[in-house]
Every structure is written in structure tokens, then in C-alpha cells.
């Protein structure tokens, strides 16, 4: 056999192997599509049920029971009560292979729903000492229902799965009630990523800025860190007509608000990463003719880089304290780190994008711009490589700008996204496990 003949045979072998692999991939995709069709109505029904019965962070008792009962009915190994109401299901495939984790969040928000849907929430509950409406206005009802559907499809395909799938249903992504721990960081603390340890974790978010059928992802920093800022400015109380006899914390607070805005515009390099500092509330004083003793300000800080985050924290403390000092007052600055930057592992993001393109269509998957909202999915990514992506909920023909954003009382999703989510997640899981 001459050298050229050998190369031809080798090329034919590679071609045949690739062809066989492609064929088995497309058969698998077809099977997933069929199974997604069969679970679609159930997924819609779960989503509506969860939507109509929303629960706040760390109080997802009914939702987690629904999830746990479903996972048990599929024959999964189920653990409950993790991080208050979290549920973990383990599906061992029929073939050897790695472990991969899939995550959904189950909590609703303290918002009164105004969608007018027949299954709209009428629930009310206590939040931070106040009675509030409760509604799924961030799409977590959809995330939970999608992952229940994914479990259903994968349980049916169990014998052909080369590895183990760990389902993580977590509470309190939007934050815990004041004074309580919760969410992804508590799930991790209580062992959600142990026994078995997953090699990778996948998660998605329904997104009101993206068209139905499309997915946005980004390698590297994707969603911002989110920190809570509290500043107490202290002055000296006096008569409103005699300011020179005291120290006015309202004027100091006003200067601090403006001073903080110069951190991004004048002090940090705007070319590196975007950042946001927002003062959301200023409270102080109770009469027109009294200069109060103190003013309290609260706000949020968003960054996309850990170094810049720490730098901005230092600059905020420095600006507030120096400004207060220049008027004879003081500023006590407290910054609480709530969410880390959601950073998609570069290699995993490349893989994830390929899988999404194959299952959703080449032109439907795009690189999303960075966003200044936060996600506690970042807590899992600190432990294992993770891939997080957005799925569009805006129906065809509707310009995204006319659609109500996540957290609006009128936030609404096209339920077609549920089946799209099931298919995308099942494909992602099996593509990952089969690549070994
Ligand atoms: Zn949200
Ligand atoms: Zn959310």
C-alpha cells in the first residue's frame, strides 16, 4: 500500500466516523424534539400552577414539594430541605460518564401582578415587615417548569445517558428575607455541588429583551456583581432657620450623591468595564424647619470585574467620608457583597454556543452584550465551570422595546419558550455528556 492510498483510507475512515457521529447526533436531536413535544402541555400546566401560587425567597414550600414529588415520580434520587427549600434530584444514566448539573430558581418577587392573565397571582405575603403582593415577574416559574420537563425527558432517555445529571432547584435567587441566608451561596454551603461533584453547571434565564426562539450568551464576564450600599451621614440637629448652629446632613448627602456619580465618569477607566452606582433612597428629616441629625442613603453597585469592584468600593467610602468631613459631618459606609460577577467559562461557553446553535438554529444564537443585572448562578461558577444563557420570551412581530421588562408587574412570557427551553437544556446536557 503506498502512502497516498493509506491517506485515502484514513480520510474515508474519518469521514465515515464523522458521518456516523453526525447521524447519531441528528437522531438524538429528533428524539429530544419528539419527547419535548410530548411534555410541552405538562410543562405549561406546571408553569401556570407555579405562577398562580408564587412564593417568596426561602418560603418556596409548595413549589419545592411539587418539584420533589415530580422528581420522585420519575425515579430520581431526591434530597429536600437544602438551603431551606432547595431540592436536588440525581438521575444516573445507564452508561458510564461524567456528572453535569442543571439549575433552576423557584422564588417569586414582592410585586403585585398586573398582567390580567386568567392564572395571574392574587397571593399576598409578608416581606420585610410589610404585606405585599407576590408574583413571578422574573420568569422563575418558567425556569422551574422547564427543568421539571428536562428531568421528564431525560428520565425517559435514561438508559442511553452516558453519565449522571444533577438537578438543582434553588430558593431565593432574588435574595433572602432580611436577616436570613439563602440562594445559591447557601445551596453551595450546604453541599449542592458535592456528592457527586459536577464537572459543569448549566443554567438559563428567560429574557424580555430577546425574541422568542433566540438565545443570547457570552463567554467571560456576562452579568454584573451586585452589592448593597448603605451610607449614614451624621450632622448636628438645629433649627432650619439657623443652619450655622448645626451641621446639615441633607446638604452633605446631596453632595455625596453627586460625588459618587463622578467615580465612574472621572475616576475609573470607562474603557475597561462598565459599572453603575445608584442611590435608590434617601431618608432623613421630618419637618420643614428642622435640620435633622442624620440621613440614611441606600443604593446598589454593579461591576463586571472583581478588581474594579474592590476599587469602586474603596472610592465610594473615601468620597462619602471626605465629603462629609469637609462640612464637619461624618459618613458611615457599609457595603454588602450580594452577587458575584456571573462569568461563563470560556471553553464551556464555546461548547454551549455550539450546542445551542445545533439545537436552535445557527442564526438564533448570538453573543449577548454584558448586562448590569446580577444572578446568583455566579455562586456555582465559583466552584465549578458554568454556562449561563438567556432565552427570549418576546413573541414574533413584537418589538422587544415595547415589552415589559423582568420585574415589571406586567412582565409576560410567550409560553412557547418553555418547550424551546426544554429542548435546549436536554441537548446541552446530552451533548456535554456524549462529548467524552
Ligand atoms: Zn429577577
Ligand atoms: Zn431572575
* Residue 6 confidence class, pLDDT cut points 50, 70, 90: very low
Instruction: Please choose, from the candidates 147, 146, 139, 64, the residue with its C-alpha nearest in 3D space to the C-alpha of residue 109.
Output: 139
Flag whether pLDDT at 308 surpasses 50. Answer: yes
| Angstrom distance (rounded) from CA 220 to CA 341 | 10
Which among 75, 66, 208 is positioned nearest to 144, based on CA atoms? 66
User: What is the per-residue pLDDT across 176-211, written as a single tens digit (0 to 9) for each?
Assistant: 999 999 999 999 999 999 999 999 999 999 999 999
Q: Which ligand is nearest to the CA of 111?
A: 1
- Cβ contacts of 104 within 8 Å, gap of 6 or more: 140, 143, 144, 146, 147, 167, 168, 169, 170, 203
How many angstroms from the chain centroid is the CA of residue 14? 41
Structural Rg of the chain based on CA atoms: 25
Distance 83 CA to ligand 1 centre (A): 19
Between helix 249-262 and helix 306-326 the angle, nearest 10°, is 150
Beta strands in 171-293 (DSSP E): 200-211, 215-217, 220-223, 225-234, 238-239, 275-283, 290-291
Asked whether the predicted pLDDT for residue 21 surpasses 90, the reply is no
How many angstroms separate the alpha carbon of residue 435 from the centre of ligand 1? Answer: 33
Query: Tell me: the pLDDT tens digits for 35-65?
Result: 999 999 999 999 999 999 999 999 999 999 9
**Which is the catalytic residue, given 113, 173, 217, 339?**
339
Give the CA count within 13 Å in the CB-facing half-sphere of 208: 18
Contact present, 276 and 301 (Cβ < 8 Å): yes
What integer is the mean pLDDT of 352-365? 97
CA of 377 relative to ligand 2 center, distance in Å: 10
State the average pLDDT for the chain: 94
Give the span between the Cα atoms of 349 and 383, in whole angstroms: 16
pLDDT for 17 equals 58
Determine the distance separating the centroid of ligand 1 and the alpha carbon of 299, expressed in angstroms. 17
**Residue pair 184/376 in contact by the 8 Å Cβ criterion:** yes
Q: Please indicate whether residue 415 is annotated as part of the active site.
A: yes
Of 203, 240, 235, 238, the residue nearest 380 (C-alpha): 203
Q: Phi and psi for 338 in degrees, rounded to 5?
A: -100, -55
Question: Which residue, chain included where needed, has cell 447519531?
Answer: 24
Give Cα 165 distance to the centre of its chain.
Answer: 20
Of the listed ligands, the closest to the CA of 376 is: 2
Q: Among residues 408, 434, 223, 255, which one has the least CA distance to residue 331? A: 255
- The residue whose grid cell reads 465629603 is 323
7 pLDDT band, cuts 50/70/90, is: very low
Q: CA 64 from chain center: how many Å?
A: 18
CA of 406 to the centre of ligand 1 (A): 6
In tens, the pLDDT along 215-262 reads 999 999 999 999 999 999 999 999 999 999 999 999 999 999 999 999
Q: State how far Cα 337 lies from the chain centre.
A: 16
Q: What is the pLDDT of residue 26?
A: 85
The neighbour count for residue 237, using CB atoms within 10 Å, is 15
CA dihedral sign, ordered 64, 65, 66, 72 = positive
pLDDT for 400:
66
Decide if 339 is catalytic: yes
Q: Are strands 342-344 and 220-223 parallel, antiparallel or unpaired?
A: antiparallel
The cell for 407 is: 420585574
pLDDT of residue 11: 53
Q: 327 CA distance to ligand 1 centroid (A)?
A: 39
pLDDT band at 395 (very low <50, low <70, confident <90, very high): confident
What number is the average pLDDT over the span 161-183? 96
Compute, in angstroms, the gap from residue 364 CA to the centroid of ligand 1.
Answer: 24
Which three cell numbers, joined as nine digits, stand for 306? Answer: 472583581
- Looking at 190, 273, 332, 415, which residue is catalytic? 415
Amino acid at each position: 500500500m503506498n502512502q497516498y492510498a493509506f491517506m485515502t483510507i484514513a480520510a474515508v475512515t474519518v469521514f465515515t466516523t464523522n458521518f456516523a457521529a453526525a447521524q447519531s447526533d441528528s437522531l438524538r436531536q429528533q428524539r429530544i424534539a419528539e419527547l419535548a413535544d410530548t411534555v410541552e402541555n405538562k410543562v405549561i400546566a406546571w408553569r401556570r400552577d407555579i405562577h398562580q401560587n408564587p412564593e417568596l425567597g426561602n418560603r418556596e414550600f409548595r413549589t419545592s414539594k411539587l418539584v420533589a414529588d415530580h422528581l420522585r415520580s420519575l425515579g430520581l434520587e431526591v434530597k429536600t430541605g437544602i438551603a431551606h427549600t432547595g431540592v436536588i434530584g440525581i438521575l444516573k444514566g445507564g452508561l458510564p460518564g461524567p456528572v453535569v448539573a442543571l439549575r433552576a430558581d423557584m422564588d417569586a418577587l414582592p410585586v403585585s401582578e398586573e398582567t390580567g392573565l386568567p392564572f395571574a397571582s392574587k397571593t399576598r405575603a409578608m416581606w420585610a415587615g410589610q404585606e405585599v403582593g407576590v408574583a413571578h415577574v422574573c420568569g422563575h416559574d418558567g425556569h422551574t417548569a422547564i427543568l421539571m420537563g428536562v428531568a421528564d425527558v431525560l428520565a425517559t432517555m435514561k438508559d442511553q445517558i452516558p453519565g449522571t445529571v444533577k438537578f438543582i432547584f434553588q430558593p431565593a435567587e432574588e435574595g433572602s428575607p432580611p436577616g436570613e441566608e439563602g440562594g445559591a451561596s447557601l445551596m453551595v454551603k450546604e453541599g449542592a455541588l458535592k456528592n457527586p461533584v459536577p464537572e459543569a453547571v448549566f443554567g438559563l434565564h428567560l429574557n424580555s429583551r430577546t425574541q422568542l426562539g433566540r438565545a443570547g450568551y457570552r463567554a467571560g464576564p456576562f452579568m454584573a456583581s451586585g452589592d448593597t450600599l448603605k451610607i449614614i451621614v451624621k450632622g448636628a440637629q438645629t433649627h432650619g432657620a439657623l443652619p450655622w448652629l448645626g451641621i446639615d446632613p441633607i446638604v452633605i448627602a446631596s453632595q455625596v450623591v453627586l460625588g459618587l456619580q463622578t467615580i465612574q465618569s472621572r475616576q475609573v477607566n470607562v474603557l475597561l468595564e462598565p459599572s453603575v452606582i445608584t442611590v435608590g433612597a434617601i431618608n432623613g428629616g421630618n419637618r420643614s424647619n428642622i435640620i435633622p441629625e442624620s440621613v440614611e442613603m441606600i443604593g446598589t453597585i454593579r461591576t463586571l470585574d472583581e478588581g474594579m469592584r474592590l476599587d469602586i468600593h474603596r472610592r465610594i467610602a473615601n468620597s462619602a467620608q471626605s465629603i462629609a468631613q469637609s462640612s464637619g459631618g461624618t459618613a458611615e459606609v457599609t457595603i454588602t457583597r450580594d452577587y458575584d460577577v456571573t462569568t461563563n467559562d470560556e471553553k464551556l461557553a464555546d461548547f454551549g454556543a455550539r450546542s445551542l446553535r445545533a439545537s436552535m438554529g445557527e442564526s438564533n444564537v448570538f453573543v449577548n452584550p454584558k448586562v448590569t443585572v446580577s444572578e446568583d448562578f455566579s455562586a456555582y461558577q465559583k466552584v465549578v465551570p458554568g454556562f449561563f444563557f438567556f432565552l427570549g420570551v418576546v413573541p414574533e412581530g413584537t418589538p422587544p422595546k415595547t415589552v415589559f421588562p423582568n420585574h415589571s408587574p406586567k412582565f409576560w412570557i410567550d409560553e412557547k419558550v418553555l418547550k424551546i427551553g426544554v429542548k435546549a437544556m436536554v441537548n446541552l446536557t446530552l451533548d456535554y455528556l456524549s462529548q467524552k
